[in-house]
């Protein structure tokens, strides 16, 4: 796979996802970092988005619930270049019926080389980075070059 560099703007699009046992931790984190998050475009799945909006007072673009396809919605937004950062507080102790969806989402985030935080501590490191509020470069798959090499004539 070939890669190309794209500019990640100073204003990020951030997806916020939290499993049931981590939703309050996500709300607390958003309240703690409201001053930074308000400068970015926020997306969240289902109940997580409603809770953040209600309790943290942040404007959220709400997607459907994770188990109903919200994880795939976020994955799609990542692959089309809309979501720049994934903050996903997942519960390693609670088996989820949609675990394959979660694995697929994390795979897409890794493929498209976006920053990922999976708990409160890693999210703190991410938001404290000087890159969080500034432009930066990142390598992404060059899908056009990939397709050009595999084009088939009929």
Q: What is the mean pLDDT of each run of 10 residues along the chain (154 residues)?
A: 91 96 97 98 96 97 91 95 96 75 91 96 97 95 82 57
pLDDT score for 150: 77
* Alpha carbon distance, N-terminus to C-terminus of the chain: 24
The whole-model pTM stands at 0.91
Superfamily of domain 13-149: Methylglyoxal synthase-like domain (3.40.50.1380)
Task: Specify the residue for token string 């939290």.
Answer: 18
CA distance 44 to 61: 6
The residues carrying an active-site annotation are: 71
Do 53 and 85 contact (CB within 8 A), yes or no? no
Domain residue ranges of the chain, discontinuous segments joined by +:
13-149
According to DSSP, the residues that pair with 7 across neighbouring strands are 137
pLDDT score for 96: 66
CA distance 151 to 145: 10
Full 3-state SS string of the chain: CCEEEEEECCCCEEEEEECHHHHHHHHHHHHHCHHHHCCCEEEEEHHHHHHHHHHHCCCCEEECCHHHCHHHHHHHHHHCCCCCEEEEECCCCCCCCCHHHHHHHHHHHHHCCCCEECCHHHHHHHHHCCCCCCCEEEEEECHHHHHHHCCCCC
């Amino acid at each position: 796979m070939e890669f190309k560099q794209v500019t990640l703007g100073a204003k990020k699009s951030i997806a916020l996802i939290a499993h049931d046992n981590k939703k309050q931790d996500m709300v607390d984190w958003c309240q703690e970092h409201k001053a930074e998050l308000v400068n970015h475009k926020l997306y969240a799945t289902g109940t997580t988005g409603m809770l953040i909006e209600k309790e943290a007072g942040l404007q959220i673009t709400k997607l459907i619930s994770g188990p109903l396809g919200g994880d795939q919605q976020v994955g799609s937004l990542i692959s089309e270049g809309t979501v720049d950062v994934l903050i996903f507080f997942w519960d390693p102790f609670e088996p989820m019926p949609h675990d394959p969806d979660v694995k697929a989402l994390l795979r897409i985030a890794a493929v498209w080389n976006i920053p990922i935080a999976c708990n409160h501590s890693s999210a703190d490191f991410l938001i404290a980075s000087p890159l969080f509020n500034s432009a930066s470069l990142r390598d992404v798959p060059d899908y056009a070059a990939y397709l050009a090499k595999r084009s088939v004539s009929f």
